[in-house]
Amino acid sequence: SFWDPKGFAEPAPFREACSPIVPLLRLPKRVYTADETLSAKLEFVNFLEKPISNVYPQWEIKTSDGKLIGEGKLGPINLPLGAAIPAGTLTASLSSVTQPTEATIRVSAPDACAMNSWKIWIVPTTPTPDSPKVLVTSSLAEAQTNLAKGGTVLFLPSQGSIRQRQDTSFLPAFWSPVYFTNQAGTMGLLIQNKHPALADFPTEEYCNWQWWSLLTPCAGSVVLDQVKNIQPIVQTIDAFSRNQKLGLLFEVKVGSGRLLVCSLNLSGNDDPIRRQMRSSLIRYLSEPAPAKLDKLSVNELALLFRDLPPEETKQAGWAKDLEPIPVKK
């Protein structure tokens, strides 16, 4: 009210996308591997009163800790009135990146008083190999046997093996899940981004574009209402009308064993960000366990999960509001 600033947005970043002249970037994706060369087409929108001539756009790509990956200058270009005005191509090798990192592409055009920025994520080309210390399984029985021996398990339950599951999509609920019930209806993620399990997976405390393929096709959050002592590393924010406690990634001690449950979509080995999440979790489990872990009894574990017949374990478990990924012809 009263047009006073509410503190949710600062003027400078707001003007990046809401201004008479706005740089736009056509990126084919947001996640890259270090052996790739980034190539993106730069465009402008000009809604000023008149065209502008002799504009020299400048660009740079820097990691979150300030390391320069690439930079360049384009132009001169002319900006007539209108949208989608081509301004050249940005090209940069990503080979200097040796660790999983978040980076920012910044484009500025001082002649036009315009600036914009976009985040990307760069991960190693080759994932960390699995550790002999860690059992990776989707079988509850196999996990229970290993835990009973004091083993360490990364449990990747199939959608159908989660007894109480809430479909979880990358997109938040449309309008209201109360009136539009034919959707997952979740409202994003609450992430302990400083947790050592995510040390090799750069992320903020909230969901950004690097989470897209982990949640698509839809992930299945585990409803934790029956075991309220668990504090998830990655918690799904549920719709207010349900307000369930939901976990996508959580760690517990079962007897003398150590269990890390991940119901994110880690299927396949061709998606770099899924590989990177798996590598980060396995590296974490290869290290000594934390001194304090939430405890889960064998009976409580059985309340959350069940074993499925082999023919049912590959069910995709799509959320009702998601369409299949288009197949390129």
* Per-residue 3-state assignment (H helix, E strand, C coil) for 137-198: ECCHHHHHHHHHCCCEEEECCCHHHECCEEEECCCCCCCCCCCCCCCCCCCCEEECCCCHHH
Tokens 């399984």 sit at which residue? 137
Confidence category of residue 36, pLDDT binned at 50, 70, 90 = very high
Tokens of 131: 């550790």
pLDDT of the residue at 325: 40
Under a CB-based contact definition with an 8 Å cutoff, are residues 252 and 296 in contact? yes
pLDDT tens for 221-242 read 999 999 978 999 999 999 888 8
Quote the mean pLDDT of the chain.
91
pLDDT of the residue at 312: 64
Confidence category of residue 1, pLDDT binned at 50, 70, 90 = low
* Domains of the chain, first to last: 11-123 (2.60.40.1930), 134-312 (no CATH)
pLDDT of the residue at 322: 40
* pLDDT more than 70, % of the chain: 94
pLDDT tens for 136-186 read 999 999 999 999 999 999 999 998 999 999 999 898 888 887 788 888 889
pLDDT of the residue at 177: 77
Most confidently modeled of 7-11, 24-28, 128-132, 158-162? 24-28
pLDDT tens for 257-313 read 999 999 999 988 889 999 999 999 999 999 999 989 999 999 999 999 999 876 665
> pTM of this prediction?
0.89
pLDDT of the residue at 185: 85
Residue 120 clears pLDDT 80, i.e. is over it: yes
Please give the residue that has the higher pLDDT: either 112 or 107. Answer: 107
- Poorest-pLDDT segment among 3-17, 42-56, 197-211, 227-241: 3-17
pLDDT of the residue at 41: 98
Amino acid residing at 149:
K
The Cβ-side half-sphere exposure at 52, using a 13 Å CA radius, reads 25
Question: If you average pLDDT over residues 88-106, what whole number do you get?
Answer: 97
- 3-state SS assignment for residue 313: coil
* pLDDT more than 90, % of the chain: 75
Instruction: Quote the CA–CA distance of 190 and 235 in Å, as a whole number.
Output: 5
